[in-house]
Amino acid sequence: MTLIKAILVASAKSGRQGFIRNMPGHCAVFMPRNKKLLVSFDHLGSIHSVPPRLPWGFGLAEEMGWSHLGNMTKQNDWFRHKDMFTMYRELRDDKFFRGFDEVVFYGASMGGYAACAFSIVHPGARVVAISPQSTLRKSIVPFEMRYPGGRKLGQWSGPWVDAAQTVAKTASVKLIYDPWWGADAAHAARFIAPQVEHYRTPFLGHRVPQQLKAMGLISTVASRAIKGGMRPLKFHQLLRKRHSDRDFVLGLLKLARAKGHGALVARVLQNGDLPLTPKDRKDLNG
């Protein structure tokens, strides 16, 4: 089924009008279902998705049965373009978001920044952001050196530039990130509003969604966080599965070795059940 046909079918079932808004650098797709709305934003890798391309979070919203406003990028500018500002002001002024009982803004990395930044248009919304940046404006985050292209492409002046500030009127913000991943942790530390909750994923790096997907956890973690049912204890219970994940174990042992605990690493490597390749073991022993 084509995306346009799917929107028409969903519109007929829900009684709401779906739409596609095509802009030079972005595309917004609204799929109506019920009175709960997921607003999602592409991440950096979305632009390279295999056709037919769908907005990030499309399948998750469908699985949950939620309405979905998916924001797709044609240029990785962190959604910092006047067309996006105009569209979200129009949706706000038309009271689009007020037609829903729940509104959750959701994204990862670049999309996590946008989820936090654009949540300002609907006070009381909730936010779920994975490994987000707070901004790329150099005067605010001089420590952020990873995205020169995004800094060049995006308009880092004007409205909603600092996502750590725009979340002030949200109902809750769940930040999911690796506290050992320097820049990500520095961005997370800038979110100081009292309703911000920190969900830490040690040694999973910046690509937390991909790591959780590899462990079979991304759908469970994301849906629980979006629905509001995720609590720290349950999150950490789910995350125990990382103990059998190669990337987690490898990252932990590399850090231990870098901190001067070579003897401890050597003892741990005597465990033949670790999810490591022979090359991993050789490199850690080297």
Over its length of 286 residues, how does the chain's per-residue pLDDT go in tens digits?
Answer: 688 888 888 899 999 999 999 999 999 999 999 999 999 999 999 999 888 889 999 999 999 999 999 999 999 999 999 999 999 999 999 999 999 999 999 999 999 999 999 999 999 999 999 999 999 999 999 999 999 999 999 999 999 999 999 999 999 999 999 999 999 999 999 999 999 999 999 988 899 999 999 888 999 999 999 999 998 888 989 888 888 888 888 888 888 888 898 899 889 898 888 889 999 998 898 7
- Phi, psi (rounded to 5 degrees) for 96: -60, -50
Clarify whether residues 171 and 202 are in a common domain: yes
Asked whether the beta carbons of 166 and 120 are under 8 A apart, the reply is: yes
Q: Is the pTM of this model over 0.85?
A: yes
Indicate whether 266 and 168 sit together in one domain.
no
26 and 109: one domain? yes
> How many domains does the chain fold into?
2
Q: What are phi and psi of 261, to 5 degrees?
A: -105, 50
Residues 271 and 144 in one domain: no
Type and span of the H or E element at 92 = helix 82-93
Q: 82 and 197 in one domain?
A: yes
Residues 56 and 129 reside in one and the same domain: yes
Q: What is the DSSP letter of 65?
A: T
Same domain, 273 and 144: no
Q: Which domain holds residue 279?
A: 245-286
Specify the CATH number for the domain of residue 78.
Answer: 3.40.50.1820
Query: Is residue 83 a contact partner of residue 158, using CB atoms and an 8 Å limit?
Result: no
Please check whether residues 163 and 236 belong to one and the same domain: yes
Distance (Å, rounded) from C-alpha 20 to C-alpha 171?
Answer: 28
Asked whether residue 188 falls in the same domain as residue 249, the answer is no
Task: State the DSSP H helix or E strand holding residue 251, giving kind and residue range, or none if neither.
Answer: helix 246-258
**Residues 262 and 180 occupy one common structural domain:** no
Asked if 234 and 179 sit in the same domain, the reply is yes
Is 132 in contact with 112 (CB distance < 8 Å)? yes
* Same-domain pairing of 249 and 185: no
